[in-house]
């Protein structure tokens, strides 16, 4: 319990960075197990588990001008979806959404994640271990002096979050998704 509170405080301190969850979760699990911080943290997936970006340019079925997106979305959602922003951790109401249903892209309504693949990553962002088939694509993100894998909607191209290789089985992936990028629809 103490560890979780510390993690939450540290994540809040880290502010808007989704990546912080990765580092904190790893550091937390290492110390909780009484291991040296440099020790490996259990089984790691092979690098090939991370979804590969599509080769070449991509065109999205749903297209809007940025003016149309601005008119369509509330400002906080526009910031995340169209400016690749990150919401502050522990702010999404979807963190406590445990009903059966589907999480859709807030930009276009495409079904993105099933509630069956949602889990609590203790990072402060809604997390999933697998997207719905064909719903998301990835690309390399070299912002903030890091190399991460950005996740976006295949239908409208909107930014949803990032994917990391520290998730649970069976995929060992953690789709770290902004709650503002999603709309939950009950089954
Ligand atoms: Zn979309």
What SS3 string covers 92-114?
CHHHHCCCCEEEEECCCCCEEEE
CA of 13 to the centre of ligand 1 (A): 30
Which range of residues forms the domain containing residue 117? 2-186
CA of 30 to the centre of ligand 1 (A): 37
Could you say which of 105, 108, 156, 176 is catalytic? 176
Q: What is the mean pLDDT of the chain?
A: 83
Identify the pLDDT of residue 25.
43
CA of 138 to the centre of ligand 1 (A): 13
CA dist 142 and 140 (Å) reads 6
The verdict on whether 153 is a catalytic residue reads no
- Is residue 18 very low, low, confident or very high in pLDDT (cuts 50, 70, 90)? low
pLDDT exceeds 50 at position 162? yes
CATH number where 139 lies: 2.170.150.20
Q: What is the pLDDT of residues 104-123, one digit of tens each?
A: 999 999 999 999 999 999 99
Enumerate residues 6+ apart whose C-beta is below 8 A from 84: 141, 143, 150, 159
More confident residue, 38 or 156: 156
Identify the pLDDT of residue 29.
43
Identify the pLDDT of residue 112.
98
The helices-and-strands tally (H runs, E runs) of the chain is 4, 9
- Is residue 44 very low, low, confident or very high in pLDDT (cuts 50, 70, 90)? low
CA of 65 to the centre of ligand 1 (A): 14
Into how many domains does the chain fold?
1
- Is residue 77 very low, low, confident or very high in pLDDT (cuts 50, 70, 90)? very high
CA of 33 to the centre of ligand 1 (A): 40
In this structure, are residues 17 and 86 in contact, taking their beta carbons and an 8 Å threshold? yes
pLDDT exceeds 70 at position 4? no
- Is residue 27 very low, low, confident or very high in pLDDT (cuts 50, 70, 90)? very low
**Arithmetic mean of pLDDT, 28-56:** 57
Cis omega before residue 170 (within 30°)? Answer: yes
């Amino acid at each position: 319990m103490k560890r979780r509170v510390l993690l939450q405080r540290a994540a809040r301190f880290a502010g808007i960075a989704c990546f912080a969850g990765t580092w904190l979760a790893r550091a937390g699990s290492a110390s909780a197990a009484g291991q040296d911080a440099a020790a490996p943290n259990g089984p790691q997936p092979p690098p090939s588990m991370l979804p590969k970006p599509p080769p070449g340019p991509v065109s999205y079925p749903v297209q809007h001008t940025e003016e149309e997106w601005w008119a369509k979305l509330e400002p906080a959602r526009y910031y995340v979806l169209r400016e690749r922003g990150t919401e502050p951790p522990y702010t999404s109401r979807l963190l406590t959404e445990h009903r059966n249903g589907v999480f859709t892209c807030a930009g276009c309504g495409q079904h993105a994640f099933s509630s069956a693949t949602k889990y609590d990553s203790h990072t402060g962002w809604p997390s999933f271990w697998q997207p719905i088939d064909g719903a998301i694509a990835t690309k390399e993100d070299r912002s903030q002096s890091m190399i991460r894998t950005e996740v976006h909607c295949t239908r409208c191209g909107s930014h949803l979050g990032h994917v990391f290789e520290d998730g649970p089985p069976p995929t060992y992936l953690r789709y770290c998704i902004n709650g503002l990028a999603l709309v939950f629809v009950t089954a």
